[in-house]
């Protein structure tokens, strides 16, 4: 038997229905987010529908709070599904734990058509069978002992309550399909034993539930990670046995760390929530994941989700493992941060600043945001750069203070104090900051003090540091009172030194 997976209606792409089917046993990992993105792009590009299905058959490990956090992260990324447990739809329920009757009907259909049978073998028997087969150098595979039981025997055992699983009778022959990414793939069914559809505890196996769901939800294309390729062979057999048309399959490569190993905790942040908390912008993360999956075919790197949707082409999805490159994500994130208006950035960084006890005045916030914008890679770094604008800054005797010992510095600081103390208002616009700095420089020049004696000493007097935001940002955003106090402190220091 050869099963060729085929679209239900190859011509009508608007019939496209794809699904993202996470197991809610943890938070949304970047690898899964990439699967969701592939499905989203495919659906949107073809004007189809994206279904979110929650695969929570593992009742012990599946948690509703994980489901909620996955949904929240998908929303954050902008990858909303058109149908799912949160939005409903015609083909629900969308949680596997609520679809038991549908699986039961599927199992009964397979039993009725002799594509499945009850198996009473105990765990002990299965284990010793496996050990025997391995010892004989054979591949472990169920030996179909229970397939040969007479129907009356099966009946009697079931009535007596002997625990039973239901196994699929794997048909002979090759299973072939044309993968959307990898091209033709063939499996021999010889290597596949009669697998379990329903467990003794009444639960249904993943491969079976997925087929009942994908068929019932009219899924036309299954796009998922390469780790599912061997499942596809089993799933195609089930479609044939259930007399349902199979969807087409596309198995995308997995994400690896820079060392070549599968991306994991040891490579740093791996969940979407962690990236969000560190202060990556959702647009940057989606842009990065899109480039990791597919290439626009030209030089563009900064792309909106809509642009990716438009250009997306599954056949250009990369076959080889995608290497997670944090530097590139950081670079993209910086681009997105710099593309924000100061007003937007000031709102976005607020929680990060507040977490470190930094709260800026109304008139100060946007200047602070503009001042730190060029340096930020992730929002989490905002407090580090913004601290100079707060009362938190303690200017301690540091090596930088040596800059104040240059000749002319006292004159420069006095000129700055004189000009800035009579500026009107507390905080200033960036342009006003620029104009004030120019006034200070002009006043210094009038007294014969230039360049070296002005810029660095002024920065050190205002921040205690020899690096940081441009001086005009400091003048605009520090606040007149802080500027005067810090200049006074620096002048007092000079006084002390000369005494
Ligand atoms: N629930 C499966 C997983 O999280 C996905 C199964 C599928 O896409 O067929 O890996």
pLDDT band at 7 (very low <50, low <70, confident <90, very high): very low
Mark whether 218 and 147 lie in a shared domain: yes
CATH code at position 369:
1.10.8
Q: Region 232-243: what's the mean pLDDT?
A: 97
User: Would 234 be classed as within a structural domain?
Assistant: yes
In this predicted structure, what is the pLDDT of residue 201?
Answer: 94
Mark whether 66 and 193 lie in a shared domain: yes
CB-facing half-sphere around the CA of 187: CA atoms within 13 A? 22
Task: Reply yes or no on whether the pLDDT at 3 is more than 80.
Answer: no
In this predicted structure, what is the pLDDT of residue 294?
Answer: 81
Indicate the pTM of the whole model: 0.89
Mark whether 179 and 62 lie in a shared domain: yes
Mark whether 79 and 63 lie in a shared domain: yes
Which residues does 183 contact at the CB level (< 8 Å), separation at least 6? none
Q: Region 351-376: what's the mean pLDDT?
A: 95
Percent of the chain with pLDDT over 90: 81
Mark whether 292 and 310 lie in a shared domain: yes
User: Would 260 be classed as within a structural domain?
Assistant: no
pLDDT band at 465 (very low <50, low <70, confident <90, very high): confident
Mark whether 69 and 91 lie in a shared domain: yes
Mark whether 434 and 346 lie in a shared domain: no
Q: Region 412-424: what's the mean pLDDT?
A: 95
Task: Reply yes or no on whether the pLDDT at 274 is more than 60.
Answer: yes
pLDDT band at 268 (very low <50, low <70, confident <90, very high): confident
CATH code at position 98:
3.40.50.620
d(CA 181, CA 249): 8
d(CA 488, CA 492): 6
Helix (H, G, I), strand (E, B) or coil at 83: strand
The CA 21 to ligand 1 mean position distance, Å, reads 5
Q: Is 265 a catalytic residue?
A: yes
Phi, psi of 222 (to 5 degrees): -105, 115
Nearest CA to ligand 1 atom 7: 21
The domain boundary residue, chosen from 255, 290, 320: 255
How many structural domains is the chain composed of? 4
Q: Region 152-180: what's the mean pLDDT?
A: 97
Work out whether strand 248-252 and strand 221-225 pair parallel, antiparallel, or are unpaired.
parallel
Percent of the chain with pLDDT over 70: 96
The residue whose CB lies within 8 Å of the most ligand 1 atoms, and thus the one to mutate among 67, 228, 236, is 228
Q: Which amino acids bring their CB within 6 angstroms of ligand 1?
A: 21-23, 55, 210, 224, 228
Nearest CA to ligand 1 atom 10: 22
What is the domain range of residue 72? 2-255
| Contacts made by residues 432-435, CB under 8 angstroms, sequence distance 24+ | 432/476, 433/367, 433/472, 433/473, 433/474, 433/475, 433/476, 433/477, 434/472, 434/476
Q: Region 441-452: what's the mean pLDDT?
A: 92
Nearest CA to ligand 1 atom 5: 21
Strands (E), 57-198: 116-119, 165-168, 174-179, 183-188, 196-198
The CA 168 to ligand 1 mean position distance, Å, reads 20
d(CA 117, CA 110): 8
User: Would 406 be classed as within a structural domain?
Assistant: yes
In this predicted structure, what is the pLDDT of residue 356?
Answer: 94
Task: Reply yes or no on whether the pLDDT at 8 is more than 50.
Answer: no
Mark whether 407 and 494 lie in a shared domain: yes
pLDDT band at 498 (very low <50, low <70, confident <90, very high): confident
Residue of 62 and 10 predicted with greater confidence: 62
d(CA 139, CA 192): 10
Task: Reply yes or no on whether the pLDDT at 4 is more than 60.
Answer: no
Q: Region 397-425: what's the mean pLDDT?
A: 87
110-127 burial, b at 16+ Cβ within 10 Å, e below that, comes to bbeeebbbbbbbeeeebe
User: Would 284 be classed as within a structural domain?
Assistant: yes
Tell me, rounded to whole angstroms, the distance of Cα 352 from its chain centroid. 20
Task: Reply yes or no on whether the pLDDT at 418 is more than 90.
Answer: yes
The domain boundary residue, chosen from 226, 255, 284: 255
pLDDT band at 398 (very low <50, low <70, confident <90, very high): low
User: Would 392 be classed as within a structural domain?
Assistant: no
Mark whether 10 and 133 lie in a shared domain: yes
User: Would 309 be classed as within a structural domain?
Assistant: yes
User: Would 39 be classed as within a structural domain?
Assistant: yes
d(CA 404, CA 490): 8
The residue whose CB lies within 8 Å of the most ligand 1 atoms, and thus the one to mutate among 224, 233, 238, 252, is 224
Cβ–Cβ under 8 Å, residues 421 and 480: yes
Catalytic member of 60, 141, 265, 328: 265
Most confident of 3-7, 378-382, 387-391, 486-490: 378-382
- What is the residue whose two structure tokens read 């929530």? 273
User: Would 219 be classed as within a structural domain?
Assistant: yes
In this predicted structure, what is the pLDDT of residue 10?
Answer: 41
Task: For residue 380, give the nearest of 285, 307, 278 by alpha carbon.
Answer: 278
Residue of 12 and 48 predicted with greater confidence: 48
In this predicted structure, what is the pLDDT of residue 320?
Answer: 86
| Contacts made by residues 457-461, CB under 8 angstroms, sequence distance 24+ | 457/403, 457/404, 457/406, 457/409, 457/412, 457/413, 457/490, 458/412, 458/413, 458/416, 460/400, 460/401, 460/403, 460/404, 460/490, 461/404, 461/413, 461/416, 461/486, 461/487, 461/489, 461/490
In this predicted structure, what is the pLDDT of residue 407?
Answer: 85
Counting from 1 in the atom list of ligand 1, the atom nearest the Cα of 32 is: 4
Sign, CA dihedral 76-78-79-85, equals positive
Which residues partner with 183 through β-bridges? 179
In this predicted structure, what is the pLDDT of residue 394?
Answer: 65
Indicate the Cα dihedral angle 228, 233, 237, 240, nearest 10°.
80
The CA 305 to ligand 1 mean position distance, Å, reads 24
How far from 380 is each of 264, 351, 354, 356, 456, CA to CA, in Å? Answer: 22, 9, 11, 10, 28
Mark whether 283 and 321 lie in a shared domain: yes
The domain boundary residue, chosen from 198, 229, 255: 255
Counting from 1 in the atom list of ligand 1, the atom nearest the Cα of 35 is: 8
Task: For residue 172, give the nearest of 148, 190, 147 by alpha carbon.
Answer: 190
In this predicted structure, what is the pLDDT of residue 90?
Answer: 96
Counting from 1 in the atom list of ligand 1, the atom nearest the Cα of 214 is: 9
pLDDT band at 393 (very low <50, low <70, confident <90, very high): low
Counting from 1 in the atom list of ligand 1, the atom nearest the Cα of 210 is: 9
Phi, psi of 95 (to 5 degrees): -115, 130
Average model confidence (pLDDT) for the chain?
Answer: 92
Task: Reply yes or no on whether the pLDDT at 397 is more than 50.
Answer: yes
Mark whether 21 and 107 lie in a shared domain: yes
Q: Region 129-143: what's the mean pLDDT?
A: 95
What would the pLDDT profile of 317-353 be if each residue is shown by its tens digit? Answer: 888 889 999 999 999 999 999 999 999 999 999 999 9
Helix (H, G, I), strand (E, B) or coil at 251: strand
What would the pLDDT profile of 175-221 be if each residue is shown by its tens digit? Answer: 999 999 999 999 998 999 999 999 999 999 999 999 999 999 999 99
Quote the tokens at residue 260.
């070549």
Q: Region 131-141: what's the mean pLDDT?
A: 95
CATH code at position 288:
1.10.1160.10
In this predicted structure, what is the pLDDT of residue 14?
Answer: 65
Which residues does 53 contact at the CB level (< 8 Å), separation at least 6? 19, 20, 21, 84, 94, 95, 96, 213, 217
Mark whether 248 and 284 lie in a shared domain: no
Task: Reply yes or no on whether the pLDDT at 31 is more than 80.
Answer: yes
In this predicted structure, what is the pLDDT of residue 265?
Answer: 82
Quote the tokens at residue 329.
């994500």
């Amino acid at each position: 038997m050869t099963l060729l997976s085929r679209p239900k209606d190859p011509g009508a792409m608007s019939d496209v229905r794809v699904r993202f089917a996470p197991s809610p046993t943890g938070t949304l990992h970047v690898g899964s987010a990439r699967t969701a993105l592939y499905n989203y792009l495919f659906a949107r590009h073809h004007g189809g529908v994206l279904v979110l299905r929650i695969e929570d058959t593992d009742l012990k490990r599946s948690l509703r709070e994980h489901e909620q956090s996955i949904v929240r992260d998908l929303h954050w990324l902008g990858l909303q599904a058109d149908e799912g447990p949160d939005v409903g739809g015609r083909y629900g329920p969308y949680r596997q734990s609520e679809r038991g009757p549908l699986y039961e009907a599927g199992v009964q259909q397979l039993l009725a058509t002799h594509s499945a049978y009850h198996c009473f073998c105990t765990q002990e028997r299965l284990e010793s069978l496996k050990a025997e087969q391995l010892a004989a150098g054979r591949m472990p595979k169920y030996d179909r002992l229970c397939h040969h039981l007479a129907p009356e025997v099966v009946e009697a055992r079931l009535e007596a309550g002997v625990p039973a699983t239901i196994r699929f009778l794997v048909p002979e022959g090759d299973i072939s399909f044309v993968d959307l990414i990898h091209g033709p793939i063939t499996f021999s069914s010889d290597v596949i034993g009669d697998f379990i559809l329903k467990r003794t505890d009444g639960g249904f196996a993943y491969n079976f539930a997925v087929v009942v769901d994908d068929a019932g939800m009219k899924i036309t294309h299954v796009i998922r990670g390469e780790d599912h390729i061997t499942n596809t062979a089993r799933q195609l057999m089930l479609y044939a046995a259930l007399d349902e048309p199979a969807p087409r399959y596309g198995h995308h490569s997995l994400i690896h760390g820079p060392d070549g190993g599968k991306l994991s905790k040891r490579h740093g942040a791996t969940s979407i929530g962690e990236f969000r908390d560190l202060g990556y912008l959702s647009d940057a993360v989606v842009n990065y994941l899109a480039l990791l999956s597919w290439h626009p075919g030209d030089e563009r790197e900064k792309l909106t989700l809509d642009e990716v949707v438009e250009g997306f082409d599954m056949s250009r999805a990369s076959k080889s493992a995608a290497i997670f490159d944090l530097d590139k994500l950081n670079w993209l994130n910086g681009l997105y941060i710099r593309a924000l208006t100061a007003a937007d950035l000031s709102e976005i960084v607020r929680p990060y600043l507040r977490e470190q006890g930094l709260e800026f005045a109304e008139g100060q916030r946007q200047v602070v945001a503009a001042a730190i914008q060029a340096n930020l890679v992730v929002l989490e770094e905002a407090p580090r750069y913004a601290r100079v604008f707060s009362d938190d800054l303690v200017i301690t005797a540091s090596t930088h203070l040596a800059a104040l010992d240059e000749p002319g510095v006292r004159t420069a600081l006095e000129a700055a104090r004189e000009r800035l103390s009579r500026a009107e208002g507390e905080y200033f616009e960036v342009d006003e900051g620029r104009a004030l700095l120019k006034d200070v420089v002009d006043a210094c020049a009038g007294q014969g003090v230039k360049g070296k004696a002005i810029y660095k000493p002024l920065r050190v007097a205002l921040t205690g540091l020899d690096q940081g935001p441009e001086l005009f940002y400091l003048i605009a955003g520090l606040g007149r009172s802080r500027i005067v106090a810090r200049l006074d402190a620096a002048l007092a220091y000079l006084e002390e030194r000369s005494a």
